[in-house]
């Protein structure tokens, strides 16, 4: 089975997710001052964080599929599972914003990011399974150190969110920073 349709469909969904998030940003009405814009800063920062997460997932997904030689129906379902969870990012972003970073929405945001990472890890596993040990995708990505560090940090942040929601958000930002640069080994291998 060819991977091009999987890539095209996935890219389309990433675009929709990002578009839905930006639509949540409302233009201030009435007499607009810098102060009124500053009131929108938390909403804008949550959007930026979610946009960065979406970009991180898109870049890593792009590299994963670039190194993938073939797909089968289990990979299609694994990819749909990943995209399903990813598509919920706009909802959880809006929930955090509407409730001024209340503990439950902040914890739920982290839980969603955790589920997205786990579903991405499942997709990697399904791809590894059909590529055997000698394929580029398996050799370069099998370690998954950042994934496991992210899972641990997100778990900590989710628990922390109930008492210190802004500390949890700081951890979410830290996890995003860990992922800003894609896997160098894979990038280098793909350009060879």
Query: pLDDT at residue 79 above 70?
Result: yes
Express each pLDDT in 165-190 by its tens digit: 999 999 999 999 998 876 666 666 66
Q: Exposed, middle or buried by CB within 10 Å (0-12, 13-18, 19+), for 130?
A: middle
Higher-confidence position of 31 and 75: 75
- Of 153, 165, 154, nearest to 101 (Cα)? 165
Q: What is the mean pLDDT of residues 14-37?
A: 81
DSSP state of 27: P
Q: What is the pLDDT of residue 151?
A: 94
- How many other β-carbons are positioned within 10 Å of the β-carbon of residue 67? 21
Query: pLDDT at residue 66 above 90?
Result: no
Q: What is the mean pLDDT of residues 74-86?
A: 97
**Phi, psi of 121, rounded to the nearest 5 degrees:** -65, -40
Number of domains in the chain: 1
Q: What is the mean pLDDT of residues 37-66?
A: 88
CB 110 within 8 A of CB 157: yes
The residue segments making up the domain with residue 44 are 4-191
Least confident of 16-20, 28-32, 108-112, 136-140: 136-140
Q: What is the pLDDT of residue 11?
A: 93
Query: pLDDT at residue 192 above 70?
Result: no
Q: Exposed, middle or buried by CB within 10 Å (0-12, 13-18, 19+), for 6?
A: middle
Q: What is the pLDDT of residue 34?
A: 78
Express each pLDDT in 118-141 by its tens digit: 999 899 889 888 877 656 666 666
């Amino acid at each position: 089975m060819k991977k091009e349709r999987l890539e095209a469909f996935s890219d389309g969904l990433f675009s929709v997710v990002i578009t839905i998030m930006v639509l949540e940003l409302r233009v201030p009405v009435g007499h607009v001052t810098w102060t009124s814009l500053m009131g929108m800063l938390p909403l804008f920062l949550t959007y930026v964080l979610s946009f960065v997460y979406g970009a991180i997932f898109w870049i890593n997904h792009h590299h994963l599929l670039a190194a993938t030689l073939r797909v089968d129906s289990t990979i299609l379902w694994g990819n749909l599972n990943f995209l399903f969870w990813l598509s919920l990012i706009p909802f959880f972003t809006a929930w955090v914003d509407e409730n001024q970073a209340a503990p439950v929405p902040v914890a739920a945001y982290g839980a969603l990011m955790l589920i997205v990472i786990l579903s991405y890890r499942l997709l990697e596993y399904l791809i590894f399974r059909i590529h055997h040990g000698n394929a580029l995708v398996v050799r370069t990505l099998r370690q998954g150190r950042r994934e496991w560090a992210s899972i641990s940090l997100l778990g900590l942040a989710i628990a922390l969110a109930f008492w210190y929601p802004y500390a949890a958000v700081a951890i979410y930002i830290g996890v995003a920073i860990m992922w800003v640069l894609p896997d160098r080994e894979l990038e280098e291998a793909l350009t060879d």
